[in-house]
Amino acid sequence: MTTTTLAIAPATSIAQRRSSTGRVTQLHVLRSEWTKLRSLRSTRYTLLAGIGATIAFAVIPAAINASRWATMSTHDKLTFHPLETSLIGINFAQLAIGVLGVLIMSGEYSTGMIRSTFSAVPKRLPVLWAKIGVFGTVTLLLSVPATLIAFFAAQAVLSGHTLFGQNIALSISDPGVARAVIGGGLYLTIVGLFGLGLGAILRNTAAGISALAAMLFVIPPLLNVLPSSWDNAISPYLPSTAGQAIMQIDHPAHTLAPWTGLGLFAAYTAIVIGAAAILLKRRDV
Give residue-wise pLDDT tens across range 116-128. Answer: 898 899 889 999 9
Q: Is residue 18 part of a domain?
A: no
Q: Is residue 157 part of a domain?
A: yes
pLDDT for res 137: 97
pLDDT for res 21: 46
Q: Is residue 23 part of a domain?
A: no
pLDDT for res 165: 83
Q: Is residue 268 part of a domain?
A: yes
Q: Is residue 25 part of a domain?
A: no
Segment (H or E) for 59? helix 41-67
CA dist 116 and 211 (Å) reads 27
pLDDT for res 3: 45
Which residues does the chain have with pLDDT short of 50?
Answer: 1-9, 11-21
Query: Where are the extended beta strands (E) located within the chain?
Result: 162-163, 166-167
pLDDT digits 0-9 by tens, 67-77: 999 899 988 88
Q: Is residue 24 part of a domain?
A: no
Q: Is residue 73 part of a domain?
A: yes
Give the range of the structural domain holding residue 273, as residue numbers without chain letter. Answer: 2-9+34-282
For residue 274, count CB atoms less than 10 angstroms from its CB and return exposed for 0-12, middle for 13-18, buried for 19 or more.
exposed
- With b meaning 16 or more CB within 10 Å and e meaning fewer, what string describes 12-41? eebeebbeeeeebeeebbbbbbbebbebbe
Q: Is residue 26 part of a domain?
A: no
Q: How many independent structural domains does the chain possess?
A: 1
> CA nearest 33: which of 131, 151, 156?
131
